[in-house]
Structure 1
Amino acid sequence: MITEKVSLFDQIFEAKKRLETVVIHTPLVPSNILSERKRGEIFFKLENLQRTGSFKIRGAYNKLTQLKAGEIQRGVIAASAGNHAQGVAISAKMLGIQARIFMPVTAPLTKIEATRKYGALVKLIGETFDATKQAAIDESFRTGEVFIPPYDDYQVIAGQGTIGLEILEEMPNVDQLILPIGGGGLIAGVAVAAKTINPQIKIIGVQSYNVHGMLRSIWNHQITANRSERTLADGCDVAIPGELTYEVLESLIDETVLVEESDIKKAIEYLAYKEKIISEGAGALTTAAMMSGALDHLLVHKKTVALVSGGNIDSGSLKEII
């Protein structure tokens, strides 16, 4: 397993080279308010300011650049609640690849419209992400299109892991990273990057009580589905985590936190009003964890980076929340 992790770190480093002229090196900014409240140094990594409004372009572009000529001719297909959809769509457009995206019927309208704007064909199918994902996989077998996994793929994981390299380049003495979890691609990639550079860094993962397949799997020491109902963190509404991401993350995660839907709403409102940061539900998970008080004992006198993973929230939903 150590060899695999080192190999994955090498892939992350290579992904950084591929992405240098494509993605934005997003800001790392201090939160003076939370730093004072929690008696530590707290910073936000603002991937809500990334192209397409989330980190997902990193993994999607890294994956698509490594397709073979025959695969490119067949086109690609993906399943997503919205952010991976946009990442695949814009990456395919830049690389001249035909893309189709399956999205849940419950996907936010802004994410559906944005995906179409980037040139992909969109089909709404399935009530949940897991149902949508299975439909896309079935379709790929029927048509020959290349399925682009949203998280359970080493090249996708490596692309997301470039966030970890950026953080450590800018802040090598960071003590801990707080990261949202859906299928696990983001946190797995960042954890490998961060802990390979500095094994002492703590990795803190956050999910919603409503949907926490990855954390339930880690606690049970085997992949376990978990979803009671929808979550405002729609980008992390993944009941069954990835097998690769689970394998990578199981030994790398140090702390886990579950948050209530009310915590997520408060975090979105706080970020908008106090920090002037527009965040979607998944992007606000890390702030929700800090504001809930569950991490107070870890934040004191420590240097912490919390990832705001995306900002693609419907204006109607944002208005309703705040």
Structure 2
Amino acid sequence: MTDPSGSVLVLTNHHDVTADVVLRILAERQVSVVRLDPGVDLHAGAALTATYRTGDQRGTLRTPSREIDLTEVRSVWIRRPSPFQGPSGLDEQDRRFAGSQSQWGVGGILASLPGAHYVNHPWDNRAAEYKPAQLATAQRSGFSVPSTLITNNPDQAREFIAHQAGGVVYKPLWNTPYKVHGQAQQVWVREVRADEITAAVAACPHLFQVKVEKECDVRVTAVGNQLFAVRIDSPDLDWRQRQSLMECAPIDIPARVARSVLAYLATYRLAFGAFDFAVTAAGDWYFLECNPNGQWAWQPDSITDSIAIAIADQLQKGPET
């Protein structure tokens, strides 16, 4: 029998195979699920309506196959929805206008469903994506943080690098899409020398961080108060660069690190977070970053399955009562 306590709304693109892992679990549990890519589906037969009156808020979402009452949505999973771009048949200016209205209108409706449990709320996700804020929150949460400089002053960048005997790495503050000769490029974490710093640093803030002499990397995936950790051994400074060469295995999390993870999540009101650490041979865990909507299905099957079940549990339970 279908669970009667409201639908789970999953906001993601049509090609998100990670979402499929969780949706299969919810289907096995007979939990009602509606999958929507609002930036695409609302131009392809879906419709969203919301009304607001004193003391009353209502709304409906219609798709080609069903209709749901937005006041009865128990949970919303913000995964990887497509950007709001407007219908393709419009000219550039009108399409840009329609896309902007959709972002602020549709986005606002779906972020304000009364009583729904969000994993994570989109505004909390956005607040938690700023790397400078992550570092500040990590310090307050009790993590060890590598010495870091964020600056657009070339002289300060050179001075910082020159005084770090163990080396310094450069990291982008945001993974901005970038193309060279029409080909998409990825800016990886890499070592940088003082003599590489040019006047171009003045164009925008750059993040420079002391290189941790690490034994391995660790990814901690947090779902509510459940933590899942894998050790990552890679020949590359940035393990994401050639994931086919990395090796992963479950690892225990020190109690002090676990406490800091939960404190960090509470600060941003996150139900999910993907934390990256550099771990030294002495057992020191250095916080690098937390992606509030990070990928996780690349991990060993036992970890991936556990994370999927934990997310399904979060979505099925709905808001705390």
Q: Please say whether Structure 1 and Structure 2 have the same fold, judged by a TM-score greater than 0.5.
A: no
Task: Indicate the structure (1 or 2) with the bigger Cα radius of gyration.
Answer: 2
Between Structure 1 and Structure 2, which shows a larger proportion of helix residues?
A: 1
Tell which has more relative contact order, 1 or 2 (C-alpha 8 A, sep 6+): 1
Q: With the length of structure 2 as denominator, give the TM-score of the two structures.
A: 0.29
Q: With the length of structure 1 as denominator, give the TM-score of the two structures.
A: 0.29
Between Structure 1 and Structure 2, which shows a larger proportion of strand residues?
A: 2
